[in-house]
Structure 1
Amino acid sequence: MKRRNFVQSSVLAGGALLASGVLKAAASDKNTSATAGKTFNLNYGIHDGMFKNHAGDDFVEQIKFAYEQGFRAIEDNGMSGRPVEQQKKIGDTLAKLGMAMGVFVQPGLSNDGNMLASGKAEHTENFIKSCQQAVEVAKRINSKLVTVVPGDFERRLPIGVQTGHVIEAIKKGTAIFELHGIIMVLEPLSDNPNLFLRTPDQGYEICKAVGSPNCKILYDMYHVQRNQGNIIPTLDLCIDEIGYYQIGDNPGRNEPGTGEINYKNIFKHIYDKGYRGVMGMEHGNAGKGKEGELALIKAYREVDSFM
């Protein structure tokens, strides 16, 4: 081949490769922009601080940013501790954007101060008072879901007696929530071995005994994985008593895709079962800064692409 023809062929080939690369990049950008802001298939609820690098420290501004990214819900464990005016502002913002409020934690009680398993009157009285306070918070933010943790074991008592005490206390709290259409969701935890409620089957037993649609299980998949695994089979066993889901990969308790849990399969399973409520994003960001927040959004786009 003559040198001139070789050069021309090389230039044309290089141009074709460059054009191909540009087209692929453009297609990728188009796909990204096509999903940016699109509502997710499941209703993932963000936490305060999740998008602070993009939106600042004000949770209201973070909520607005999350809405722009396609999220349509929040949850806030610390809602009860916020000033009343801030609670109202968050509630108003959610109403204007058409976003849902997931769970907040029952106010005024810690695990060691909420030993319902003991059967002691003071613990039951404090629990009932806390339920009444939760109703007032729920009204300000238009919430229908309250997280409840029964507290620690009372190891001097047989487990059946402890369970009976918890059931009786939960019945009294549920009676308060029933008057206001609020659902108490009991959360099995893996944080330490002293906690009474650790597995979904325990929660199932309690909910069946209470016998109210206002008492359900909070199925936090991070804790289920740490305590026992078998997330999908256990979910199926307890599904008629599950009222809420929370997300967190393990190890690390960060966004889906950063650990061992196959959330894409799990989310498809939950969707196919008909659940359309809030899915609480109770986890941290694996990455730092704005890049970490964008990576989190990308991770949810990936695991939500089960349709």
Structure 2
Amino acid sequence: MLPEITWFLRGMVLGCCVFSLITMFGSIRQGHEKQRTHHEHHHLQAPGQELRHLAWEANANLQSSTSVYCMVLVSPQDLLLWAAVKDSWITHCDKAEFFSSEDVKELESVNVNVSEPWLVMKAAYKYAFDHHQEDYNWFFLILPDTFAVIENLKYFLLTKDPAQPFYLGHAIKSGELEYISVNGGILLSREAVRRLNSLLIDPEKCPKRRGLFGSLPGDMQLAFCLKYTGVLAENAEDSKGKDVFNTKSVRLLIQEAMPHHGNKVIEGCCSDMAVTFSGLSPNQMHVMMYGVYRLRAFGHVFKDELLFLPPNGSNSD
């Protein structure tokens, strides 16, 4: 009887040990998975204070690497928005072109002869690569209801190497896919555009239509294509961790900040170095232009040591 009790107790002890080990390893695995999920979302921040003390020659070299080619996707019904964009922020790009699904003389746009948003986007990137791959380091695709502060964009890019495959903007995670929302603007480096171009003619890796893929928005399809080349979406933030590519207007962002930030609504709303605001009407586009480039508070002096000069022949402010 005694040997049977002894073996029973040994079995109980061994079972408890095995259960403890399984529980411990399971907890480690779960913690690792949580940590991995957290870090799947890439965060890329703007440069810090170190740039304020660079020599003039170093500043000049950095600024020359931030040439930006702006690509605006328009349609015939966007005529008023097109006019507002044309007369406002887009003059600060090194070069800008509009891409349309139709040949509309008033739009002064490149007709890509396709109508589906994803195909228009693909055609715009193909055109940009074929005509400007060696001329500019950064390719900025945007919708006509979005206002962009190009100087802040260039500041954000000062320490980024365009020879590396960057895919930047307002990152959104949908299931296993992380993509950059076109509403806030999509920024690709020269290397990312080169990799994308290598796929545009490959229907297996960057298809025109294939089941569910063909029904996805263009910005999500772009993310699928870039993922084949190892180019992943990265969320652009300032040095304090605030988004700089915004998919909403200033008005909406302030409204959302009011219940949560009390007397510090503006600080809680938006980054001081914001690059884009979206969902604007033509009138709001002009208001933004006035606020960003015209209005000055007397007695307040901003000592920015970096100066981004407008491109030659530009009528920008």
Q: TM-score, normalised by structure 2?
A: 0.26
Looking at CA atoms only, which structure, 1 or 2, has the larger radius of gyration?
Answer: 2
If each structure's helix is expressed as a fraction of its own residues, which one has the higher value? 1
Task: Looking at secondary structure, tell me which structure has more strand per residue.
Answer: 2
TM normalised by structure 1 equals 0.27
**Structure showing greater relative contact order (alpha-carbon pairs closer than 8 Å, 6 or more residues apart):** 2
